[in-house]
């Protein structure tokens, strides 16, 4: 005979799922799965699930005993909670150098370029530097000290890359934007090491060996290790 979860078990699973989603949304855990802009939707979804759990439990509590479903939930049904605990206890690592080495650059032509400060050093994202270097020919980057931060990836033959993974929606669609390093590059670089690169624009470019997309260079003046950022991903840069 076919069995199903009784109302109380449904309420418990809904509550656990909602609480897990709320936990992810209220902490940095959600940044391992989706882009930061989706946080409000996660919180809303978690709140709706918790409310649905409360409504289900209230309905079951108010039902007359004789009207309750006679079939009880098999114990194995509680194994459905394991993925929820795994979500909390075993967060996946962010996409890194392995993904970058096997995925072509996601660099696309932006809609436009915002104004930059007239003076002083420029602190840019990897995606913005790459877009300005390739699609704006570095017009506003020349003769300016530039700082970009990303993790190290290598293709095994050419110069190492500084990479930041870009997201349209979630980690499943993450793709890298790559900047090749030349100049005073440290002689030993470990993949996935996060670096803050200070350097200058150079018109030199290369092609991504995976998809043939353009990869600009930056002429390194200084490279210093930094901790991995709170949010390891960038949203796709469109100007």
The mean per-residue pLDDT over the stretch 19-30 comes to 78
pLDDT of residue 239: 59
Which has more confidence, 5 or 190?
A: 190
Nearest to residue 48, comparing CAs of 25, 69, 78? 25
Asked if residue 70 and residue 23 are part of one domain, the reply reads yes
State yes or no: pLDDT of 93 exceeds 80.
no
pLDDT given for residue 178 in this prediction? 95
d(CA 24, CA 18): 10
- Position 80 pLDDT exceeds 70: no
For residue 12, is pLDDT > 70?
Answer: yes
pLDDT of residue 2: 37
Residue 23 lies in a domain: yes
Residue 40's alpha-carbon distances to 43, 231, 232, in angstroms, are 5, 16, 19
In this predicted structure, the answer to whether residue 197 has a pLDDT above a threshold of 90 is yes
Q: Is residue 174 part of a domain?
A: yes
| Same-domain pairing of 37 and 127 | no
Domain assignment present for 201 = yes
Mean pLDDT of 114-119: 86
Q: pLDDT tens, 159-171?
A: 899 999 988 777 7
219 found inside a domain: yes
Residues 172 and 61 in one domain: no
Give the 3-state secondary structure of 20-86.
HHHHHHHCHHHHHCECHHHHHHHHHHHHHHHHHHHHHHHHHHHCCHHHCCCCCCCHHHHHHHHHHHH
Residue 107 and residue 68 share a domain: no
Instruction: Judge if 182 and 102 occupy the same domain.
Output: yes
Sign of CA dihedral 150, 151, 152, 154: negative
For residues 145 and 200, membership in a common domain is answered with yes
Token pair 């930059």 is found at 116
Assess contact for 122 and 148: CB atoms under 8 A.
Answer: no
pLDDT at residue 4 in the model: 43
Is 220 in the same domain as 127? yes
Q: Which of 38, 61, 89 is the last residue of a domain?
A: 89
- Is residue 46 within 8 A of residue 18, CB to CB? The reply is yes
Name which residue leads in pLDDT, 14 or 134: 134
Average per-residue pLDDT for the chain: 82
Residues 158 and 225 in one domain: yes
Does residue 135 surpass a pLDDT of 70? Answer: yes
Q: Which residues pair with 178 in a beta bridge?
A: 163
Instruction: Give the domain extent around 182.
Output: 97-235
103 & 205 share domain: yes
Per the domain annotation, does 1 fall within a domain?
no
In a domain, 2, yes or no: no
Q: Number of folded domains in the chain?
A: 2
Instruction: Indicate whether 122 belongs to any domain.
Output: yes
Domain-terminating residue out of 89, 109, 127:
89
Query: 155 with 179, same domain?
Result: yes
What CATH number is given to the structural domain containing 136?
2.40.50
Q: Give pLDDT tens digits for 36-72.
A: 777 788 788 888 888 888 888 787 777 765 555 555 5
Nearest to 228 by CA among 165, 179, 174, 185: 165
Cα dihedral across residues 129, 135, 140, 141: positive or negative: positive
Give the pLDDT score at 108.
85
The answer to whether 184 and 161 have CB atoms below 8 angstroms apart is no
Residue 47, Cα to own-chain centre: how many angstroms? 23
With a cut of 60, say whether residue 222 has pLDDT above it.
Answer: yes
Same domain assignment for residues 198 and 222: yes
Q: Are 35 and 139 within one domain?
A: no
Residue 192 lies in a domain: yes
Last residue of a domain, one of 89, 120, 146: 89
């Amino acid at each position: 005979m076919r069995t199903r979860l009784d109302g109380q078990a449904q309420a418990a699973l809904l509550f656990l799922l909602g609480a897990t989603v709320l936990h992810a949304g209220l902490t940095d855990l959600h940044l391992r799965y989706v882009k930061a802009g989706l946080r409000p939707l996660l919180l809303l979804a978690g709140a709706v699930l918790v409310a649905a759990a409360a409504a289900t439990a209230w309905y079951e509590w108010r039902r007359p005993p004789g009207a309750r479903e006679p079939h009880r939930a098999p114990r194995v049904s509680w194994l459905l909670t394991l993925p929820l605990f795994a979500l909390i206890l075993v967060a996946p690592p962010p996409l890194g150098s392995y993904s970058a080495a096997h995925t072509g650059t996601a660099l696309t032509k932006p809609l436009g370029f915002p104004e930059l400060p007239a003076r002083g050093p420029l602190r840019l994202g990897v995606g913005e530097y790459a877009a300005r270097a390739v699609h704006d020919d570095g017009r506003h980057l020349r003769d300016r000290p530039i700082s970009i931060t990303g993790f190290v990836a290598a293709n095994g033959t050419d110069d190492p890359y500084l990479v930041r993974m870009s997201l349209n929606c979630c980690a499943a669609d993450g793709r890298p934007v790559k900047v090749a390093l030349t100049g005073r590059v440290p002689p030993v670089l470990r993949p996935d090491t996060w670096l803050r690169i200070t350097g200058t624009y150079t018109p030199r470019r290369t092609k991504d060996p995976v998809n043939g997309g353009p990869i600009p260079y930056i002429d390194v003046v200084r490279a210093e290790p930094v901790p991995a950022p709170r949010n390891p991903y960038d949203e796709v840069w469109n100007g």
